[in-house]
Amino acid sequence: MAKTRQSGNTYKTVVYGDQTVQRGAGGETHQTAEEGYDVLTTQQGAPVADDQNTLRQGARGPALIEDFHFREKIFHFDHERIPERVVHARGYGAHGFFETYKPIPDLTKADLFQRAGEKTPAFVWFSTVAGNKGSFDLARDVRGFAVKLYTQEGNWDLVGNNIPVFFIQDAIKFPDVIHSVKQEPDKEFPQAQSAHDNFWDFISLTPESMHMIMWVMSDRAIPRSFRFMEGFGVHTFRLVNAKGKSTFVKFHWKPKLGLQSVVWNEAVKINGADPDFHRRDLWNAIQSGDFPEWELCLQTFDEAFAEAFEFDVLDPTKLIPEEQVPAVPVGRLVLDRFPENFFAETEQVAFMTQNIVPGVEFSNDPLLQGRNFSYLDTQLKRLGGPNFTHLPINAPKCPFHHFQQDGHMAFHNPRGRANYEPNSWGPEIGGPRESGECGFTTFPEEPEGPKVRLRPESFADHYSQARQFYASQTLVEQRHIGDALVFELSKCEVPAIRERMLSHLQNIHTDLAQTVADGLGIATLPSPAAPAVKPQTDLPPSDALSILKRGPESFKGRKLGVLVTEGADVALLGELQNAAAAAGGVVEIIAPTVGGVIGSDGKLIPAHHKIDGGPSVLFDAVALLITEEGVLGLLKLPPARDFVSDAYAHYKFIGFTEASLKLLTKVGISDELDDGFIPLDRAADAGAFIQSCGALRFWDRPDGA
């Protein structure tokens, strides 16, 4: 017999294949404690009534610290790994600054937004989520985009991702989603992959994840570079001005170089050729003085908009389309310096969502509320004690004064006799005092409602924005989403998991569901999953959600790989280098040997890569400066054949000399030259070729990846 649940919510039974679950008003699922199942308990043995929702005051109110089950669950999860980060273990960081464009005192009293042109020191950490520290850079995964701003009123950590939504609505489910995607505990693999049964079992039983799944299966999850991806604060925050007026805000980081991703086949080969591809790209850009830049953009809105918006602004699985609320730039972030020591700074940096400054405040987003607890707890374990703020990378750069003392590895020397407050000692020895005038004061929001474990009904629509995201993509991007789902689900060994996912995809888009079913060889689509609320099918597409609809049309920040052989035309090579440099790009030379070749002028052309160490997947476009005397040697080299066949399959622009046709013929594509092939007959052709490369890919190629 199933045990009776007393959770303060109304549930209905839903059947997904061979699994019976219960769905709450918000669409969350609960596996029933049927005959043969043990009842879930805390570590102390207390039975758990609800493992899906944190305790909060009112359905949309703040989380309550008395929720012992949530705190125990997160506490244990935070301490699973030592000393490596449990999530976001694989990453890279750099120093820089944030420069304010103009004051915005009407929106916030935050000090860094009060003076035009002011530069605030910053440290940024980019990362993957699922992989361990030694995993490869180009896993299909969410990318962390965490920014620490050392303001004059304390450190502000904007700890976000390159995707504006998340898998779950409540932080109590964070250990579950991460456990599901990490290595399976019995066999300790797969590593840095989501293509396995545990992950898709969890996702297929968690309808709230469907919007996030569309993003993760899109090209957003395999970015070409940290420099070419957006960042998002994910949650709704508050800005508060000096008069106490509150404005809701969502934070966006938009790259100055535009967006760019790789295709899946390319990502797989990059991971083999250079597992440090993203790290190396950021290192080379900063070391060469080509400093990456992003603009901080704000989506601001008031209570009236929040009430009128189709979805709940406190729901972290939802976004606000930029067509409805424009993202307005207020400053720029520039990365211009690397740490002197990776461990001392990048590995020991501690980001915490709780680190905010006067003028920036939290909303009641239940995922954000849980993160505020979790991050501080995590640093205690990872960095060995409460004094991790003494580390230079974590310490504020403004003056700080408090009575906190001692603890593991304390290395500040407090002076004087006062270590408590209030005290009657004078300013010389009495220490700091609180200040009602300039201290942090919390916006006096009034929560309503009883203490409950409950998702609000306003969180219940799990499919409409997933459909909107898919409909906003170009046909190329839609094909990639379908291909990704087919690949991932084909790695699931349990057919019922594939069936459950197809039942969800039916609620997102029937074309997508049919594409995935065809790819999996499933002849008959299952019935659509029973939605908690009827999905909206008329949400307008948003061009801001597509990468290709906002292409940069520029080769700035990109890399051209030039394959050369003996006797290569040095004048043509020189013009390619000049044209690429003028566009803001970089040229690297690939040759049969790393020693280089002798050019047409009798001088050595040094090479950056030997042909099998510099495959075309490492470059955004390629040029073949192949001569009649050199092509015969290339025909015998499999890496040379792979160089051109991969460039073709990955939709890259290919510049070629006439002698290159023999190599193209060898791989079977010389009779199909499309407009993505640009002849390089003379030096004057270089400029037009580089200009064509600004489109980044020639997507009209029919037989690509």
Active site residues: 88, 161
Token digits for 540?
Answer: 């307008």
- The values of phi and psi at residue 501, to 5°, are -65, -40
Smallest CA-to-CA distance from 157 within 98, 99, 71 is with: 98
Region for 696 from its dihedrals, namely left if φ exceeds 0, alpha if ψ lies in -120 to 50, beta otherwise:
left
Q: Is the peptide bond before 83 cis (omega within 30 degrees of 0)?
A: yes
Region for 107 from its dihedrals, namely left if φ exceeds 0, alpha if ψ lies in -120 to 50, beta otherwise:
alpha
Token digits for 315?
Answer: 């729901």
Contacts of 14 (CB under 8 A, 6+ apart): 20, 21, 22, 23, 29, 529, 530
Query: What is the amino acid identity at position 138?
Result: L
Task: Let me know if 643 is exposed, middle or buried by CB neighbors in 10 A (0-12, 13-18, 19+).
Answer: buried
Could you give the CA distance from residue 694 to residue 704 in angstroms, rounded to a whole number? Answer: 19
Residue in the structure block whose two tokens are 């199942």: 37
Query: What is the amino acid identity at position 335?
Result: L
The total of other beta-carbon atoms located within 10 Å of residue 116's CB is 11
Query: What is the amino acid identity at position 143?
Result: R
- What stretches of 225-319 show up as alpha helix (H) in DSSP? 264-273, 277-287, 303-308
Could you give the CA distance from residue 345 to residue 145 in angstroms, rounded to a whole number? Answer: 16
Find the angle CA(607)-CA(610)-CA(616) to the nearest 5 degrees: 100
Coil, strand or helix: which one is 434? coil
Could you give the CA distance from residue 336 to residue 95 in angstroms, rounded to a whole number? Answer: 6
Could you give the CA distance from residue 658 to residue 624 in angstroms, rounded to a whole number? Answer: 9
Task: Let me know if 444 is exposed, middle or buried by CB neighbors in 10 A (0-12, 13-18, 19+).
Answer: exposed
Are the CB atoms for 600 and 570 separated by under 8 Å?
A: yes
Are the CB atoms for 322 and 365 separated by under 8 Å?
A: no
- What stretches of 383-523 show up as alpha helix (H) in DSSP? 464-471, 475-490, 495-508, 510-520
Are the CB atoms for 501 and 16 separated by under 8 Å?
A: no
Are the CB atoms for 300 and 328 separated by under 8 Å?
A: yes
Read off the DSSP letter of residue 128: E
Smallest CA-to-CA distance from 237 within 389, 138, 354, 395 is with: 354
Coil, strand or helix: which one is 374? helix
- Crossing angle, helix 68-78 and helix 174-181, to 10 degrees? 30
Token digits for 526?
Answer: 């299952």
Residue in the structure block whose two tokens are 């700080």: 400
Are the CB atoms for 329 and 347 separated by under 8 Å?
A: no
Written as one string, the DSSP assignment of 535-562 is PPS-PPP-GGG-SGGG---S-TT-EEEE
Residues in the chain: 705
Assign 3-class secondary structure to 78-127. Answer: HCCCCCCCCCCCCEEEEEEEEEECCCCCCCCCCHHHCCCCCEEEEEEEEE
- Crossing angle, helix 510-520 and helix 475-490, to 10 degrees? 40
